[in-house]
Amino acid sequence: MRSAQRYAHRRSGAVSFAVIDLDGRMRSFHGAGTAPAASVFKVMLLATYLRQGSVRHRRLHDSDRRLLGPMIRRSDNAAATRVRDIVGRGAIEGLAHDAHMRDFRYDQVWGLSRTSARDQARFMYRLGRYIPKRHWRYAKRLLSSIVGPQRWGIGHVRPKGWHLYFKGGWGSGTGRVDHQVAFLTRNRYRIAVAILTEFDPSHSYGKRTLKGVAKRLLRGLPRLPARF
């Protein structure tokens, strides 16, 4: 944490992050500050869609997969808007309530919905609670198979032996926002990370900030944790 905080202080723009460690404790840096969610909101859309009453108890149809796959794997905005229209504001805010999000504020322009690092780290850490068990493996497959051109930041510093599930958000690619939310697992170990940045000089600069923060937060993670 100290190394990540020092690094964040040196970066241009606004940086906040939160991590839930191996003991389930949250540590944060400006963790309650909010920013436009951009495409990290799509993880909430994924969970909201999969837990609908019309979906949670059945197998996914090809139409479901054609909608959700592009939304997560390559961050398709049209698919996200379609999912938002299907599930509706009430279901999204219901998920935020169930996930104990203290700082979330919905906006009809979904990318402008406000969120915080602490809310997103907690949400990712407990994501399996909000997605029906029958769809959990599918959700993890999507979050672990983000397309190559979008696997920057934490995607470049995954510790050996750990499984990474994440989503990024970058607005229009100008540096206005560059975010990543993630959880990592190894055997029975789990951690979660959320890094939010705003007002980066460029998208490339924001990606470097994400990588630098993530690298420092994960530096002490055991590479080969013992099984319980």
- As a whole number of angstroms, the distance between CA 29 and CA 142 comes to 28
The CATH homologous superfamily to which domain 2-23+36-217 belongs is: DD-peptidase/beta-lactamase superfamily (3.40.710.10)
- As a whole number of angstroms, the distance between CA 173 and CA 195 comes to 16
* pLDDT tens track, the chain, 228 positions: 999 999 999 999 999 999 999 999 999 999 999 999 999 999 999 999 999 999 999 999 999 999 999 999 999 999 999 999 999 999 999 999 999 999 999 999 999 999 999 999 999 999 999 999 999 999 999 999 999 999 999 999 999 999 999 999 998 889 999 999 999 999 889 999 999 999 999 999 999 999 999 999 999 787 654 443
pLDDT tens-digit readout, 201-213:
999 999 999 999 9
Beta-sheet strands, E only, within 142-176: 163-169
Scanning the chain, the segments in alpha helix (DSSP H) are 2-10, 41-50, 62-73, 77-98, 117-125, 127-130, 133-143, 203-217
What pLDDT, on the 0 to 100 scale, is given for residue 227? Answer: 47
- As a whole number of angstroms, the distance between CA 152 and CA 210 comes to 8
pLDDT tens-digit readout, 124-167:
999 999 999 999 999 999 999 999 999 999 999 999 999 999 99
What pLDDT, on the 0 to 100 scale, is given for residue 228? Answer: 38
> Which residues 6+ apart lie within 8 Å of 152 measured at CB?
168, 207, 210, 211
**Orientation of helix 62-73 relative to helix 41-50, angle to 10°:** 160
What pLDDT, on the 0 to 100 scale, is given for residue 225? Answer: 46
In the chain, where are the structural domains located? 2-23+36-217
By C-alpha distance, which of 144, 191, 4, 169 is closest to 17? 4
Tokens 């099984």 -> residue: 227
